[in-house]
A and B are shown apart, each in its own frame.
Chain A
Amino acid sequence: MERQIIELNNLSKRYGSLTAVDSLSLSIQKGEIFGLLGPNGAGKTTTILMMLGLTEPDAGTAYVCGHNATKDPIAVKQKVGYMPDSIGFYDDMTAWQNLMYIGELNGIAGSQLKQVCEECVQLVGLDAEAMARRTSTFSRGMKQRLGLAEVLIKQPEVIILDEPTLGIDPIGVKEFLDLIVKLSRQKGLTVLLSSHYLQQVQQVCDRVGIFVNGKLQAQGDLSTLARSVNGKAACQVQIVLQQPLTIPWKDEADIRQLPAVQEVTIDGHTVDIALREDITPEIVRFFVHKGYDVAGVQKKEYQLDDIYQSIFSA
């Protein structure tokens, strides 16, 4: 049977009495972008370290690119590029020297080293002027790019990024994630990225796994997740009115009569209505009919955020 490119079976890790990862089973296909989501301390980094053979699991196995990560970490590390969350470089060396050093450690011969490095630098969009500078002068965003160049230098099959968007501004995040998606599609790379930022992850990931307290609570693409999480509302409409409503609202009973309305929450100018199915036009008509001045209507489809929330509150 052919193995998946990343295959974890009942992986467990305990630190004293704390169970960081609790019999985690997960498989990721080649070419997929997988998002590992979870709050801080959920065991994401521990899982990643076990995949690279940097931490020994207490139980279970991790196979990456067909190699057992615990027993044969060198073979895994030759094929996997890893960017840690708190990425740091040797400050007394220039960015270029840092990059060349990693290239050398990966056994790239001197004659090709320069060319390979230049290709990677170009891919991540750093210019020659920046590469000649010491990395201590780099901004966080530039460090991330350099880190990505370094990950690419070994021509990996799998890229593992631990909190890649931490501490970069929103525009930087967007550029960075677009870059990752582009690279993944171009080269057929498998990408595993961990994050606690949902918005960003859902933009780029094919599949996500939600990871809480060392356990994988749910996995799949967004719509699967949404379904698995709730038999609850499918969408939510927020109506903003010109005048604030007084509580109790006289028409509340009426609106609850409408089909598919599940819940109504009133907060001054805004009314949030949870719906079993999308009947937004009818809701708007209701308000207009009752003589309210509707200032805005916003339809919210289920987002990862909500899925996340519901897993937590469960």
Chain B
Amino acid sequence: MEKTNNAIAATISSTSQALSNAFWVMVRKEIAGQIRSWKFIVLLVLILLTYWGSLLVSMSNLRSMVASVRDADELFLYLKLLTSTEGSLPPFHVFLNFLGPLLGISMGFDAINSEKQSGTLSRIMAQPVYRDNLLLSKFVSVIILVGTLLVCLTLLMIGTGTLLTGILIELEEVLRIFAHVLISLCYIAFWLAIAILLSILFRQPATSALTAIGIWLFFTVFYEVIVNLAVKAMIPDPAPPAELMRFYDLLFSLTRLAPSQLYADATTTLLMPSVRSLGPVTMDQMAGAIPTALPFKDSLMIVWPQVSGLLAATVSCFAYAYYKFMRREIRT
């Protein structure tokens, strides 16, 4: 006993190292817990199904798609695999627009309040770990998990495509696809941050889950309708084109407050190199344009505001959650 005492004292002495270890111990435990949980398995099955379904659809009309491409340089086979559809099933990136929030919300809605309810929060907080490590570990573990999942799916897709068509993927496509994965991760992180924030604000996991789903529904269904109604009501009836243009700009800016719109804009631009602008374009601007694909860098430039908007929303949500959690009383 004495021997182990000394040994432990020696181990604990390197405090700072032990503390950073403690953080990764927490992350590991969180990941293990998530993977074993039923909700993750259900979500995994759901995502695999949609992935498989949308891939099947795009594979089936691959031939007609390839045939319609005039310039071989602009084939972008792998991007087409992700985006093309014949109408029966939406493409994968549109699916992800729905599934992403679901994934983020379901992985985070009970992050803090379930710990509080089961009485584990005060027990963990009594250990020599920083309080924010718990919150951070919840966030990081889900990001690692979802990131791994998305990267796996993407690699699977590329692999299947190569096997079936024999066409090698181009660097341009790799960049675009992985940029898409990163943006998807940001998007899921945003919903995760909201869910974790709500799990701190509300005592009951059911309340926080419902509220998160309510916010999600509001942004996906009602927000656009409301903005449309409001802006259209403001437009004077016989409006000069310049005036009209201004109102449409306003409309676009307002709809882009919704995270799902940001995500849709960003993914569409990245996965479809022919998309050149996200706002309204006048005939004058169109006149000189040559209908070619944009290089990756230019596409990225177009979506940069969207990406930074998503990141900013995620960070501010998480920061607020952080603030709330640090000030919160531990006791139940």
Contacts and interface: CB of A to CB of B under 8 A. Distances in A.
A, B in one complex: yes
Contacts of B33: 90, 92-93
A125 interface: no
A112 B4 contact: yes
Contacts of A91: 118
A155 interface: yes
Interface stretch (B14-22, B42-50, B307-315): B14-22
Interface string B127-148: 1111000000000000000000
A109 B37 CA distance: 28
A78 to B, nearest CB: 4
Interface in A111-160: 112, 115-116, 119, 147, 150, 154-155
Given A90-B33, A104-B25, A105-B26, A55 B123 contact: no
Contact of B332 (A54, A81, A86, A92): A86
Given A55-B329, A74-B128, A105 B25 contact: yes
Contacts of B119: 84, 86-88
Interface in A74-112: 74-75, 77-78, 80-84, 86-93, 101-102, 104-109, 112
Nearest to A105: B127
B5 interface: yes
B331 A45 contact: yes
A51 to B, nearest CB: 11
Given A55-B330, A90-B33, A105-B25, A155 B127 contact: no
A77 B127 contact: yes
Per DSSP, are chain B's interface residues mostly helix, strand or loop, or mixed?
helix
Contacts of A150: 123
B126 A84 contact: yes
A52 interface: yes
B70 interface: no
Contacts of B22: 104-107
B151 interface: no
Interface in B289-332: 329-332
Interface string B82-124: 0000000000000000000000000000000000001110111
Interface-centre pick from A52, A74, A90, A107 (highest chain B CB count, 10 A) = A107
Question: Which range holds the interface residue count of chain A?
Answer: 35 or more
A105 B331 contact: no
A49 interface: yes
Interface in B1-46: 1, 4-5, 7-9, 11-12, 15, 17-19, 21-22, 25-26, 29, 33, 36-37
B331 A49 contact: yes
A89 B120 contact: yes
Interface in A163-184: none
Interface string A257-294: 00000000000000000000000000000000000000
B8 A88 contact: no
B125 interface: yes
Contact of B15 (A55, A74, A93): A74
Contacts of A106: 12, 18, 22, 127-128
Contact of B330 (A49, A75, A112): A49
Given A92-B36, A112-B4, A112-B7, A74 B122 contact: no
Given A87-B119, A90-B120, A78 B128 contact: yes
B120 to A, nearest CB: 5
B127 A102 contact: yes
Given A52-B126, A106-B128, A78 B329 contact: no
B203 to A, nearest CB: 14
B331 A107 contact: no
Given A49-B331, A88-B118, A90-B118, A74 B12 contact: no
Contacts of A108: 8, 11-12
Contacts of A80: 126
Interface-centre pick from A80, A116, A147 (highest chain B CB count, 10 A) = A116
Contacts of B26: 105
B330 A107 contact: no
Given A88-B119, A89-B120, A54 B330 contact: yes
A87 B124 CA distance: 11
A78 B126 CA distance: 9
A81 B122 CA distance: 12
A297 B37 CA distance: 63
| A-B complex: 6 closest residue pairs judged by Cβ atoms | A88-B119, A107-B18, A82-B126, A88-B118, A84-B122, A77-B128
Given A112-B8, A119-B1, 10 more contacts: A54-B122, A77-B128, A84-B119, A88-B120, A90-B120, A93-B33, A105-B124, A105-B127, A112-B11, A154-B128
30 contacts: A49-B329, A49-B330, A55-B331, A74-B15, A74-B128, A74-B130, A77-B128, A77-B129, A78-B12, A82-B123, A84-B119, A84-B122, A86-B119, A87-B123, A89-B120, A90-B33, A91-B118, A92-B33, A92-B36, A101-B29, A104-B25, A105-B22, A105-B26, A105-B128, A106-B127, A106-B128, A107-B18, A107-B19, A107-B21, A112-B7
Interface of A: 45-46, 49, 52, 54-55, 74-75, 77-78, 80-84, 86-93, 101-102, 104-109, 112, 115-116, 119, 147, 150, 154-155
